[in-house]
Amino acid sequence: MSSIASPERIWWNPLSRVEKFWVVLAIIVGLAMFSSMFIWMAIGKQNIPTETYQVTKDQFSHASQRMVQQYRVRDDAGVPVVSPPAGSDVYLVARAWQWSPILQLKEGETYRLHLSSMDFQHGFSLQPGNLNLMVLPDYDYVATITPDKAGEYTVICNEYCGLGHQAMVGKIIVTE
Amino acid sequence: MAKVSTNVQPMDSTDFRTCPVTGLKVHLPAQRLIIANAVTAVVALLIGGIFAILIAFTRVPAVKLLPPETFYRLLTAHGTDMLVFWIVFFEVAGLYFGGAVLLNARLVKPGLGWLAWVLMLAGAILTNIIMLAGKADVMFTAYPPLQAHPLFYFGVILFAVGALLAIGLFMATVIVAKSERRFTGSVPLVTYGLIVAAIIGIFTLLAGAVAFVPTFLWSVGLLPRMDPGIYRIVFWAFGHPAQQVNLAAMVAVWYALATLTVGAKPVNEKVSRFAFLLYVLFINLGSMHHLLVDPALGTATRMFNTSYFMYLAVVGSLIHAYSIPAAVEVAQRKKGITGLFGWLTRAPWGEPGFAALVISMVIFGFIGGTTGVIQGNDQINLIAHNTLRIPGHFHATVVGGTTLAFMGLTYYLLPLMTQKQLVGRGWARVQPYIFGSGIAILALGMLWSGIQGVPRRTADISASGLAGVDTTLVLVGVGGTIAFAGLVIYILIAVSTLLFGKRQKC
């Protein structure tokens, strides 16, 4: 009997004590990891958002434009900077190869951040802090966020979206 | 006509030879197909390896070897050549070996085997031409609405049809071998593992058809639009299970290497086979790992799938992690080796297959498997998704694990199939250490960079404002160089053996 030869006809042998111990241990590890998923969800401060809507590119871009018209405070290298009120819906548009507008949010306040793409698939990656979400065209993905530290954050695209992908960098500013 | 019942069909002696060393009856048409598929695999490995070293040095900030456009083009080709063409061609060779040679049986319909090889080769060449011509800068995943040239999707489909045919041929070979009573009792454990790989492979390739056929129709204008979210779900029902095929095939190779190098026998067939069965049932749920931070997926769906239904597939891997070392220990002790760790200290570390087995298990288990399970957790995926942690994980599994195990097997398969002595045996002894250490450094560099937020699939991160990641990205270059050296040594040994090896009875 070996791994590369046919075993004897009856190989349905009982497990030895050591084998039983190992298999039971492995199952316990599996169950522990499984239950930890629920525990983390209950006590973790940051969970994956599940709120999603179907949206057309026009609808989403109009919603974003309305927000820009109402709450624009200045421009930064041609990209509008908006300061929407706390608790409001904010719209971040991804297109090859730009994030717009630049959002200026208040520390400790809660916002509903809408993400969608005008063309390809993009990846919303907030740095530093390292928070990553997929941004797809025709999907409005809503993340309820509460910035907990003031500063200037970079939004990089971490899903390949064409030859200018590495230049797709945006900004979120959190004020005190 | 009266039916004459014979227990064993007469072997057509002209189609078989008997290996004096192993006693295996080798079906010559199977042998030719095994060599053809393995050689094609190694060519794909060489091409993918050259792209690998170029893209690795583009990720080192101090070097930035390639301009972005070339980087994305070669990254697409690297992923496709390695994850699909190298691995699947080698697996087809492995399937024919496990289905025909290990069962002392004939490969049914070798003509269909050649048709499968031609389809796969045509698909691989077509896809490579389109990618290198710059008509498919869409990455291995080809997420719509990014669109490649229709022939890119067509090439992938051709390859998949060929691979499906090869799997069907393997299954038919095992069934015919059983009915012709070429072996008694059950199939050997290695063949059992390969059957598991083949079952997962069938599911994988059917999902691939559901992903790529509509995308092909869309690229020629016959479908108005592809839903990006649905495509991701279907693509990953192909993309991740393809890696589970590699997992099952790799574990089968581990058992084979343990037997070939120290004469290890499965301690308990029941335990090992049950662990393989867990793969069939649960491993593919892990595909959902790619979709954790996608819109439109509910929490319950994510929990059920990403935990492989309570981590039962992980339990399968943990069982192999026990039963293979246990088999080695038992075999070593039977030789009279004593002491608590004598079975390890007096193990044949200079035997390439043994070194490949151990290093492959260590890199796969401790770097690849652990990071996979960790990054598949909901909250952690939020900070890991699409960072370099992801390629860090799968270079440890698919390269440090599967590829290294396949390299180790080559040192035994090649002399057996070509009847030639291995050229450069001294190099083969050190090759697993060189390749393994390189991949370990590469994977750790990627993981460490990813933890700091460095995105994957990005030619240049200077615009992203990420600070303090230069050192960890240097590890990608250092590890890549060492691994590339190991890859070149492997290819030189394989090619020289094939061309210049001394004839021997084997």
A131 close contact with B: CB closer than 8 A: yes
Are A30 and B315 an interchain contact pair (Cβ–Cβ within 8 Å)? yes
pLDDT of residue B2: 44
pLDDT of residue A2: 81
B489: Cα separation from own chain's centroid: 19
d(CA B488, CA B480): 12
Query: Least CB-CB distance to B379: which of A8, A44, A115?
Result: A44
Please answer whether residues A112 and A142 qualify as being in contact, where contact means their C-beta atoms are separated by less than 8 angstroms. yes
Mind telling me how many Å the CA of A4 is from chain B's nearest CA?
Answer: 5
Which sign does the torsion angle of CA B309, B196, B180, A10 carry? negative
Alpha helices (H) along B180-224: 189-219
Which residues 48-77 of A have a C-beta within 8 angstroms of B? 48, 50, 52
Cross-strand partners of A54: A139
Write the CB contacts of B388 (distance below 8 Å, at least 6 apart in sequence).
B446, B447, B449, B450, B454, B455, B456
B23-187 belongs to CATH 2.40.160: no
A133 close contact with B: CB closer than 8 A: yes
pLDDT tens, position by position, B10-30: 555 679 999 888 889 999 999
B277 close contact with A: CB closer than 8 A: no
pLDDT of residue B378: 87
Query: Least CB-CB distance to A13: which of B232, B268, B373?
Result: B268
Query: Least CB-CB distance to B295: which of A12, A29, A141?
Result: A141
B364: Cα separation from own chain's centroid: 12
Are B455 and A46 an interchain contact pair (Cβ–Cβ within 8 Å)? no
CB neighbours (10 Å) of residue B340?
A: 7
B57: Cα within 13 Å, side-chain hemisphere: 12
Q: Which of B159, B156, B77 lies closest to B118 in space, CA to CA?
A: B159
What is the domain partition of chain B in residue ranges? 23-187
Are A3 and B453 an interchain contact pair (Cβ–Cβ within 8 Å)? no
Which residues 196-235 of B have a C-beta within 8 angstroms of A? 227-229, 232
pLDDT of residue B7: 45
d(CA B44, CA B51): 11
pLDDT of residue B4: 43
Which residue of B lies nearest to A23 if distances are taken between CA atoms? Answer: B319
A72 three-class SS: strand
Identify the burial level of B270 via C-beta atoms within 10 angstroms of its C-beta, where 0-12 means exposed, 13-18 middle and 19 or more buried: middle
Are A138 and B227 an interchain contact pair (Cβ–Cβ within 8 Å)? yes
For the whole model, what pTM was predicted?
A: 0.95
pLDDT of residue B506: 73
State whether ipTM is beyond 0.85: yes
pLDDT of residue B303: 86
Which pLDDT tens digits describe chain A residue by residue (176 residues)?
588 888 876 777 889 999 999 999 999 999 999 998 889 889 988 899 999 999 999 999 999 999 999 999 999 989 999 999 999 999 999 999 999 999 999 999 999 999 999 999 999 999 998 999 999 999 999 999 999 999 999 999 999 999 999 999 999 999 99
Identify the burial level of B338 via C-beta atoms within 10 angstroms of its C-beta, where 0-12 means exposed, 13-18 middle and 19 or more buried: exposed
pLDDT of residue B76: 98
B467: Cα separation from own chain's centroid: 35
How does the average pLDDT of chain B come out, rounded? 94
d(CA B125, CA B134): 14
The DSSP letter of residue B387 is B
pLDDT of residue B304: 87
Choose the mutation target among B278, B293, B446 for the interface with A, i.e. most A CBs under 10 Å. Answer: B293
A1 close contact with B: CB closer than 8 A: yes
Which pLDDT tens digits describe chain B residue by residue (506 residues)?
344 444 444 555 679 999 888 889 999 999 999 999 999 999 999 999 999 999 999 999 999 999 999 999 999 999 999 999 999 999 999 999 999 999 999 999 999 999 999 999 999 999 999 999 999 999 999 999 999 999 999 999 999 999 999 999 999 999 999 999 999 889 999 999 999 999 999 999 999 999 999 999 999 999 999 999 999 999 999 999 999 999 999 999 999 999 999 999 999 999 999 999 999 999 999 899 999 999 989 888 888 888 888 799 999 999 999 999 999 999 999 999 999 999 999 999 999 999 999 999 999 999 999 999 999 988 899 999 999 999 999 999 999 999 999 999 999 999 999 999 999 999 999 999 999 999 999 999 999 999 999 999 999 999 988 988 999 999 999 999 999 999 999 999 999 999 999 998 87
Query: Least CB-CB distance to A22: which of B190, B322, B377?
Result: B322
pLDDT tens, position by position, B367-409: 999 999 999 988 899 999 999 999 999 999 999 999 999 999 9
CATH number of A51-175: 2.60.40.420
Q: Which residues of B touch A48 (CB under 8 A)?
A: 292-293, 299, 302, 378-379, 381-382
pLDDT of residue A108: 96
Mind telling me how many Å the CA of B403 is from chain A's nearest CA?
Answer: 20
pLDDT tens, position by position, B239-255: 999 999 999 999 999 99
pLDDT of residue B12: 59
Mind telling me how many Å the CA of A74 is from chain B's nearest CA?
Answer: 22
Q: Which residues of A touch B256 (CB under 8 A)?
A: 3-4
